[in-house]
Amino acid sequence: MSVLICPSMMCADFSNVKTEVNRLDKAGVDIFHMDVMDGHYVPNVGLGVEDYKAIRKNTNTTMDIHLMVSNPDQYINIFSDLGPNIIYVHPDTTPMITRTLEQIKEKGIHPGIAINPAISVSQIQELLPLVDYVLVMTVNPGFAGQPFLDYVIPKIQTLTILKKERQFKLMVDGAISPDKIGQLSQMGVDGFIVGTSALFGKNRPYDEIVSDLRNRNHLDN
């Protein structure tokens, strides 16, 4: 089965966003990944409403929102009318995460949880029946260009077993190189958020890169 390739649009060239989106669509990417950061939950400020609108008006491809914010409920209300298909929230950003996930689902959007390197599977296991996606952070969230944290791999392995029972898609995000796609797809990871480690700034056409990334799970057999 082909892996999901999801460009992290925080790494895209927003000076020519229409061309970027069109080239990525032509390459057949699966999900446009949008990092929304508030400068409080993580020490950085990321994409906002106008950035989201700029991409959505140029594509019908699936888009997600990764809310790296405190008080995510208010952001869900802001972004839910802009056309997201998936919204990820961090379980440690609200005292009533189950209500937040229900709110997302009631809006007809796929609920997902994103878990930082310090969050264990045991801390989120009760939430798995409530979500359609689990996004495992393989770096500490907030900045691009960090190294992949190998100590997260056992957590990923555990989740590949649980996803067969709970029927969620397992995604990974953070320093995802072509080699990591090959390694982790063989474990059972469904999709990869790709940025500067695999996709952007390579001086190659996106369609060539995306094709190579999809083939990684076959090459490593």
Catalytic residue positions, numbered: 35, 173
Is residue 68 within 8 A of residue 89, CB to CB? The reply is: no
DSSP string across 79-128: HGGG--SEEEE-GGG-TTHHHHHHHHHHTT-EEEEEE-TT--HHHHGGGG
User: Which strand (E) or helix (H) includes residue 62?
Assistant: strand 62-68
CA–CA dist 219, 71 (Å, integer): 43
Closest CA to 148 of 137, 135, 133, 161: 137
Rounded to the nearest 10 degrees, how much is the dihedral formed by the CA atoms of 180, 156, 21, 201? Answer: -30
CA–CA dist 190, 42 (Å, integer): 26
- Looking at this protein, which amino acid is placed at residue 83? G
Sign of CA dihedral 145, 10, 109, 187: negative
CA–CA dist 221, 205 (Å, integer): 26
Q: Are strands 169-173 and 86-89 parallel, antiparallel or unpaired?
A: unpaired
